[in-house]
Structure 1
């Protein structure tokens, strides 16, 4: 497998010829947000929305088709059976996010995601096995891995053809795989004997390695050598004085140059759940618009406890914290009506959890129309510390942006930064106020750092947030379509 080096010093595996062309066509429209470079972004914050280009459709020109299975209100999520893949639906993802703390006090935001999409509408509903011999089985897979420290962002994306066998989801034990990125349950009992708490997914282990070492910065980076992983991070005074540079071989003592070392981040986490799975919406049937034309099947596990190690550029760090898992599948979000969404998964200080969501939908359904009349639909789930869920409807919910980052990509013509009137500028709301009066919740949610932007083939914001106000806490925020 070959790698493509992005301008922001992230690695992206790039598969071969025919699949590359197909995937590029699909993915470029899959999330049509801006194509920026995270290390060259110039961002600013304000309380008012800056001038910027209008958002486009999140899934761009991908079109829904009757060949894909429809999400139906009278069919509900069943666990553990629905942990598996649903290949007859057009889109699906298994999404893990973590807010982690190191034993030395460092804070991290970690993401691991496996996407599946059916690209073969013409063939009708497919048959699927985790490993099949026919490469052209109509299923494509994509993996995203992202780690944010306060100073740096590590990101990698991977792609696989569904029939090759290097990417799949299977049951008993529950396992997701793309190449050597593996999430696997240690539960070995058949699904029918899985306990109510574990639902065949927990306890489990998550192991993956990704990313490229960043530009050398002696004021911020730990020792960027390939020494044994039992090394600990240098003391802050050593790092600030550049003491770690003396241990570097000559070819790695670089400033403003990419250090050509592979797999900067290695993750090994043990995952356990301390609460029940949550079926979002109506028993897993999740509407994204008031009239339900945009909808999905969706459930979560917001009570994940994570503990393990991360090796960041040669330095082992013991970490622990909270995780959130989402599994969602649909055939109704891949068209021009779905402009994008704002999603929040929050761990609050009283032990409760909050999922809040805003959908941006186009109400002009004429395919060739350039006019976009935007409908904003909001919904939320409040989950108390005992795992009891309450749906929160629009009338009892307010999700309002209060601050923005201006994300700016380079001009392809001259390599220079554009200005705020250029089409290269995107205004991304990274500070919010969320209010649930019935639960006495009035909180401010803000990104824990700037530039939490995944510079993938379809760029989007995915990053850790901090919570203040009536409750404190932390969590993750996803912003698409900007």
Structure 2
């Protein structure tokens, strides 16, 4: 296996090489597009959710990434790192006020990492995220201090983000991704925390994106929410951020239970930071409470636990905030839960 420092060097090189072109209109088909798309440079499968065991509350995150290494594509050696696979997993113990986090990285084709085309059968060492013939997913993670064994059953049709799955992420046509979500996944299984197994149930959310380019050179990072509403609806909102904190680009969608999605136009998702928290690790200041104005409503998004910063410098090289959050409507009523992600506060994000 290639040494970790060599993998990171290859990953860094891949971020600056390649012929960037506008993506054509989406023709997303299932189950084919649950799998990998190696011709495009960057891809991720991102599962988040809220779990409960009686009165106890957890948030969880499992993410598999695939990155094409352009500088290695012409190499003939079977050991060449043409595609890298890396993964993050995290567990937020709300009552214990602690975040658990772990990460992995390896080159695809090494026998320990895979992100195949045609279906979701992701593997990295002893971590896996796989979809069976019924469409249900199984996430199995054995990490440092915690483990996850969760079955994720779809209850709704996939939600195609943007224009039928082609989601703009900046002012240039090339700054886009193919992007779909699966909200309102029924989650059941077990969390193991410090050797103790805990049966859990809850709701989860899958995002799957693949692209050639996402970030405009003037963007430092993004703010994103994916929220399962208690009534069965689904809310997505995001913005790309400039160095001065202003919005470069924004978007999102709202799908009521049983209804058709309304896709936000540029300028319709407005993020207003409220309370902030400063990380003792990175000294970054994160807004852990937001007011997010959307065409559906004005929502308040509040972190379930302030300290949900992830240090992934051993894999992706980034430090960012990602964690369980609560959603209230404009009348102050609790209406849902989901995940809030904030990148580019500790350092400029490169992707």
What range describes the TM-score normalised by the shorter chain of this pair? Answer: 0.7 to 0.9
**Structure 2 CA distance for partners of 1:265 and 1:408, relative to 1, 3 Å:** closer
Counterpart residue number, 1:354: 235
Counterpart in the other structure of 2:349: none
Q: CA deviation at 1:185?
A: 2.3
Consecutive unaligned residues in structure 2, runs of 5 or more: 346-351
CA distance, structure 2, for counterparts of residue 22 and residue 334 of structure 1:
25
Residues 49-68 of structure 1 aligned to structure 2 (within 5 Å) = 62-66=15-19
Q: Shift of the alpha carbon at 1:321? A: 0.5
TM-score, normalised via structure 2 length: 0.87
Report the CA distance between 1:397 and its aligned residue. Answer: 3.1
The answer as to whether partners of 1:64 and 1:331 remain within 8 angstroms in 2 is no
Structure number with the higher strand fraction is 2
For 1:475 and 1:375, locate their aligned partners in 2 and report how far apart those are by CA, in whole Å.
22
Larger radius of gyration: 1
1:73 to 5, 12, 24: 24
Partner SS for 2:115? strand
Seen in structure 2, the aligned counterparts of structure 1 residues 346 and 334 have a Cα distance that, compared at 3 Å, is closer
- What corresponds to 1:25 in structure 2? 9
Task: Report deviation, 1:469.
Answer: 2.9
TM-score normalised according to structure 1 size: 0.65
Residue 52 of structure 2 aligns with which residue?
Answer: 101
Aligned mate of 1:289, from 167, 170, 191:
170
Matched, 1:433 2:296: no
Q: Is the CA contact (8 Å cut-off) linking 1:287 and 1:295 kept in structure 2?
A: yes
Corresponding residue SS for 1:302: strand
Return the offset for 1:135: 2.3
Of the candidates 310, 317, 328, which is equivalent to residue 468 of structure 1? Answer: 328
Preserved CA contact (<8 Å) 1:71 1:330: no
- CA RMSD in angstroms comes to 2.6
Please name the residue that 1:170 is paired with.
Answer: 116
Cα-to-partner distance string for 1:273-298 (whole Å, 9 max, x where unaligned): 11000111011111012443421111
Q: Secondary structure at the match of 1:79?
A: coil
1:343–1:273 distance in 2 versus 1, CA, 3 Å:
same
C-alpha distance 431-300 of structure 1, shift in aligned 2 (>3 A): same
Shift of 1:183: 1.9
Say whether residues 1:381 and 2:250 are aligned partners. Answer: no
Count the aligned residue pairs: 336
Give 1:38-437 correspondences, 5 Å limit: 62-66=15-19, 70-102=21-53, 104-121=54-71, 123=73, 134-150=78-94, 151-170=97-116, 174-187=120-133, 202-211=135-144, 264-333=145-214, 336-361=217-242, 375-386=247-258, 388-409=260-281, 425-436=283-294
